[in-house]
Structure 1
Amino acid sequence: MHRLSILLIVLVLVNPIRAATRVTVAQLEQFLTSKQASKEPDGEIADRLGSVQLTEQLTAQTLARIESQANLGPRTMEQLRLIANSSIFFAPPSGELPTIAAPDQVLQQRMLKSAIEYVDDALQHLPDFLALRTTDSFDNTPQQAGPKHGKPKAELRLVRESRREIAYRNGKEIVDSASDPGNSQPESSTFTGFTTKGEFGPVLKTILTDSFKGSVVWNRWQTSESGGLVAVFRYGVPKSVSHYVVDFCCYQKSRDDPQSFRFRYLAGYHGELYLDPTTGVVDRITLEAELTEDDPVMVSSSAVQYGRVNIGGKSYVCPVRGVAASEVHNLNMELVDKVGPERLINEVRFSSYHKFASTVRIFPEDPDANRQ
């Protein structure tokens, strides 16, 4: 029976149809093991993975184990990394979750209250600092088809890596307006070249403020990336109380109309809060906008992982990485290439935190400086 299940998985993943194939983490591991045993080329394995979507979260611990145990090629590793990023919005397999009873309502409310107090306090005490934001951008715009393909291939691939130094001063991230032509509101997400902002506080305050006007319910215990225990709450925010704006530029309404239009939409949204159960420190947040297939932007979701960083000799909790994903209608891809929708994923890393400060040196006056 076990050999039969592996065979079925392989047959599904080998299917040349490019529609998304939904599999579990265990099925993904079985597929990679079978392909490694058969010594299939890196490019062919990566092609199979290009149509895979997980139904469970591929945690950092499991991804590290797969990397250490399997001798995977660079293209396969890139696709596996994308699959892991996209899965961050799901719960891990039940076998990876701690077997601890859910806390009672009193303790749940205490955790949420601690989270609100933590966010209010932590943001006030963050120093002025500089950090490096590194963004790896992936998209699936069609590439020239090979001799065995009848139409262009639309697979997610790395298209650029960008680095930008960001400044945080007086409790706010300083946004360069020249590089960010979209909406200036910190709680918005702007897809102009596909960018996001607000990781340094505004998105936290927005979610915690909005969610208590909607619903917040207990979901599960989970092990954090650092190995600690985190409490995961599920929240939902209806559009009527939302402050989250999806801002996308630009799209065409029809092939006959060359005019570009901007999609700006106040959306309801939902997601998860990962909290330290004793301190209320936020470990991770996820956010998924509630959109429809008829909207120019069909998917808009993001996740931010927080961790402790050293700034000026002191420890602070700040963003360490993030994932943002979007699916948008692209008329050329859908009508001409027939491989839509367009998918975009950004993987963001924050590093090189250091205190923002200026130094002044005073030199004694040179008595000969004014002599003619």
Structure 2
Amino acid sequence: MKRFIWLVVILLIASPGWAVKKMTEQQLKDLLAADQRSQKSDAEVAADLKDIDLTEELTHSTMDSFKPLVPGQLTTEQLFVLEIRSAVLPPPASEIPATAAPDATKQKAILDKATDYATKTYAQMPALTATRTLRRFQDSAQQDQPALGSHGSAVLAATYTPIRYTASDDASVTFKNGTEVNPLASEKAHWGENSMIALLGQAPEPAAVLQEAQAAGKISWLRWETVAGHDLAVFSYSVDKKKSHYAVDYCCFPGTSQAGPVGMRGTVGGGDAGNYQTSATWKNFKSNEAYRGEIFVDPDTGIIYRLITQVEFKGSDPVKAENQRIDYGVETIGDKKVVVPGFVTIDTVEQPFPDSPQGRYILRHTLFTENYSGYKLAGS
């Protein structure tokens, strides 16, 4: 039974719904065009998009091309969800340059430039402040099943609320040596009590990623890719847990004594999946984890314009997946041009409460976008 339960968990992680349709960018555009010809409403088009998993990155340029086909805000919201969830996928083949791969000597030269840039330029950046606009998207996926040892039917009944935009906020943040100092780390709020999670760990550091990947001997050429007009050299990498210093910190999860979901009338196991019995103990999930991803490098300068990290969790961890992409852009600060984080997407899956005695569990997708603007020297 336990094996069967975790097979269901894996299926839920893989997609936000049961009737998922795999699509390319072009197939998504064809669907929007067909819905427009059928004069579907904004709500109907948005509903069509909720059951789609893209097989390639939904790029900004393609999103812009969709504007004449978008009937309203609900559809726009679901397109943003698809953009975030596809952010770590390769782009359509049409956006990959046909340039031949560099030989091993040139690949090493590019990586040497990237390491030099990450350690001597990016990591030596002066303290900066910026405004961060954070947007959160979240769903609630609940799966009911017979309690272990019961003689009832093994048929599963899924309750699923699609991913929707839930909140946003602006905050002043500080960067030291190119890394954001997370302002949420000092907060005392138990985010889990609000059926929400918070990411308190620091973002991946380009110098640390390169150092660990090269020390592990697990960094290799992947492809060329055009990003914001730059033809970038893309390398894949992986770092196992024993050599990783990638620290995750998620707030918050209840103690294992938690009884489980509580219904609107206070009965365990009933009612709204977003309401839970209060717990006396709430704990952060902190760990150093294995990770893999891609790093995008300007072959001439070594500047890193994009960094992807995909964290690998154990099946028993309350966090099931974390995919993060940082896009860096050029900003003028004083009389200098610097490359700083501009746009970040984070796609996570959590099991916010432990398995209950009733055999009920909940998986939740929480997506974040972060826009940074107004960079200036700290103290100015």
Q: TM-score, normalised by structure 2?
A: 0.77
Look up the match of 2:276: none
- Residue 206 in 1 paired to residue 228 in 2? no
Look up the match of 1:295: 317
Bigger mean CA deviation after superposition, 125-134 or 27-36: 125-134
Aligned residue runs from structure 1 range 186-335, under 5 A? 193-195=197-199, 198-199=202-203, 203-214=205-216, 215-224=218-227, 226-252=228-254, 253=256, 256=259, 258=279, 259-331=281-353
Change (3 A) 1:203 1:192: farther
**How many angstroms apart in 1 are the aligned matches of 2:212 and 2:351?**
29
Please give the per-residue CA displacement for 1:30-89, whole angstroms capped at 9, x wherever unaligned: 11111111111111211221222211111122222222x424311111111110111111
Residues 351, 363 of structure 2: 8 Å contact kept: yes
Residues 141, 159 of structure 2: 8 Å contact kept: yes
**How many angstroms apart in 2 are the aligned matches of 1:307 and 1:108?**
23
Bigger mean CA deviation after superposition, 154-163 or 250-259: 250-259
Residues 334, 340 of structure 1: 8 Å contact kept: no
Instruction: Tell me which amino acid in the other structure corresponds to 2:130.
Output: A
- Residue 341 in 1 paired to residue 340 in 2? no
Residues 137, 366 of structure 2: 8 Å contact kept: yes
**How many angstroms apart in 1 are the aligned matches of 2:162 and 2:354?**
16
Q: Aligned to 2:165, which of 150, 155, 158?
A: 158
**How many angstroms apart in 1 are the aligned matches of 2:177 and 2:298?**
26
Aligned-residue offset at 1:136: 0.3
Instruction: Tell me which amino acid in the other structure corresponds to 1:168.
Output: F
Q: If you compute each CA radius of gyration, which structure gives the higher value, 1 or 2?
A: 1
**How many angstroms apart in 1 are the aligned matches of 2:359 and 2:18?**
13
Instruction: Tell me which amino acid in the other structure corresponds to 1:256.
Output: A
Look up the match of 1:354: 376
Residues 132, 165 of structure 1: 8 Å contact kept: yes
For the residue of structure 2 that corresponds to 1:140, the secondary structure is: strand
Look up the match of 1:62: 62
Change (3 A) 1:137 1:207: same
Over 6 Å off, 4+ runs: 332-339
Residues 182, 200 of structure 2: 8 Å contact kept: no
Residues 331, 338 of structure 2: 8 Å contact kept: yes
Please give the per-residue CA displacement for 1:290-332, whole angstroms capped at 9, x wherever unaligned: 1244321110121100010111132100000101111011349
Look up the match of 1:103: 102
Instruction: Tell me which amino acid in the other structure corresponds to 2:73.
Output: P
Instruction: Tell me which amino acid in the other structure corresponds to 1:139.
Output: Q
Residues 200, 251 of structure 2: 8 Å contact kept: no
For the residue of structure 1 that corresponds to 2:248, the secondary structure is: strand
Residues 269, 288 of structure 1: 8 Å contact kept: yes
Change (3 A) 1:181 1:304: farther
The structure in which a higher percent of residues are strand is: 2
Bigger mean CA deviation after superposition, 162-171 or 94-103: 162-171
Instruction: Tell me which amino acid in the other structure corresponds to 2:259.
Output: D
Aligned-residue offset at 1:130: 1.6
Look up the match of 2:13: none
Instruction: Tell me which amino acid in the other structure corresponds to 1:245.
Output: A
Q: Which runs of 5+ in 1 are unaligned?
A: 1-15, 144-149, 183-190, 359-372
**How many angstroms apart in 2 are the aligned matches of 1:325 and 1:104?**
34
Q: TM-score, normalised by structure 1?
A: 0.78
Instruction: Tell me which amino acid in the other structure corresponds to 1:219.
Output: L
| CA root-mean-square deviation | 3.1
Aligned residues: 325
**Relative contact order, CA 8 A, sep 6+: which one is greater?**
2
Please give the per-residue CA displacement for 1:132-156, whole angstroms capped at 9, x wherever unaligned: 011001111379xxxxxx9865111
Aligned-residue offset at 1:94: 1.6
Look up the match of 1:186: none
Residues 151, 337 of structure 1: 8 Å contact kept: no
Change (3 A) 1:171 1:273: closer
Residues 141, 364 of structure 2: 8 Å contact kept: no
Please give the per-residue CA displacement for 1:181-239, whole angstroms capped at 9, x wherever unaligned: 69xxxxxxxx983235544xx62122111111220111111110x21211111101111
Look up the match of 2:136: 137
**How many angstroms apart in 1 are the aligned matches of 2:291 and 2:219?**
12
Change (3 A) 1:45 1:99: same
**How many angstroms apart in 2 are the aligned matches of 1:157 and 1:337?**
27
